Structure 1
């Protein structure tokens, strides 16, 4: 399974100076629960946004040409899509964390979308890529709890691609031939 996972505001904003523009602990809990014991793929800026480095109990893959900066960080490094494909070839669950270029790179193959939609508008500098949701069907929807720690209305949505064209399995066959 190849999936995207991200949070966005009402205008599809996903970042500000390499960080999330909001504080929403329930989204971080959802991200952790959903991605434990899976493979996660991210760009260097996304990786740098993690305060403690590699996320534990996950296979962390970082797309970058700055390999020397990641020595000793407990991550696998890929310099291009083909290297990522090789590193995930035998993995059952793979989540693309971002940034934008990785979402663009894997959009044709992605089978699932895990998105946290926040009912608020923030200031930032990075927006999610356009996605044609007509190619996906909503398979799960859950409202997030608003409380003292989670002050913005939000919901967790999961979509599955409708067609099997360009699925990860087919794409992997292309890379392995």
Structure 2
């Protein structure tokens, strides 16, 4: 079966607090500068696919995300924004992002798009925060995924903001399926 992303691999990247919280009230309920630097390093030069609410959650000075092709998924056919390309569905966004044959396409949020995209993903880049916060947006389950790398290997880094965090790279566990989205 052909992936909507063609030959490109699809990765999902997010930060999550305990309980899988990735957002609250249209934003992230924490500030971890080291995570933002990691996100930039991981996604720089690659197409990024996001939902409209994620696009709108970025401060104006970060829209579009520089150095990346910004593709926004929205059902609103009238929506447009400078520096962004609109796609009506995740499959359409992945197909659009695959034009030019990039190595990796990064899906960057939000929760609904992550849940839809995880079946097409080859890798997950997750910043785990040792933090309890209330939220209304949640990460998809990493069941069926293996932690391929953790930084630090044991314990936690501590951000300049005082929040313990670590970076975890997940790869799909053998025999767990996935990466099987068909082009409509």
The two structures have a TM-score, normalised by structure 1, of 0.86
Distance 1:95 1:12 in 2: 19
Task: Give the conservation status (yes or no) of the 8 Å contact 2:118–2:140.
Answer: no
Aligned to 1:166: 178
For residue 137 of structure 1, give the secondary structure of its aligned residue in structure 2.
strand
Distance 2:146 2:141 in 1: 16
Q: Name stretches of at least 5 consecutive residues in structure 2 with no aligned partner.
A: 1-8
CA apart distance, 1:67: 4.7
User: Where does 1:60-71 land on structure 2 (aligned, <5 Å)?
Assistant: 60-71=70-81
Distance 1:31 1:85 in 2: 19
For residue 42 of structure 1, give the secondary structure of its aligned residue in structure 2.
strand
Task: Give the conservation status (yes or no) of the 8 Å contact 1:42–1:61.
Answer: yes
The alignment yields a C-alpha RMSD, in angstroms, of 1.9
1:120 to 2:131 alignment:
yes
CA apart distance, 1:25: 0.4
CA apart distance, 1:108: 1.5
1:24 to 2:32 alignment:
yes
Aligned to 2:58: 50
For residue 82 of structure 1, give the secondary structure of its aligned residue in structure 2.
helix
How many residue pairs get aligned? The number is 168
Distance 1:129 1:138 in 2: 15
Which of 57, 63, 83 does residue 74 from structure 1 map onto?
Answer: 83
Aligned to 2:16: 8
The two structures have a TM-score, normalised by structure 2, of 0.83
Q: Structure 1 residues 131 and 139, CA, compared in 2 at 3 Å: closer, same or farther?
A: closer
1:136 to 2:148 alignment:
no
Q: Name stretches of at least 5 consecutive residues in structure 1 with no aligned partner.
A: none
Task: Give the conservation status (yes or no) of the 8 Å contact 2:16–2:139.
Answer: yes
Distance 1:131 1:141 in 2: 14
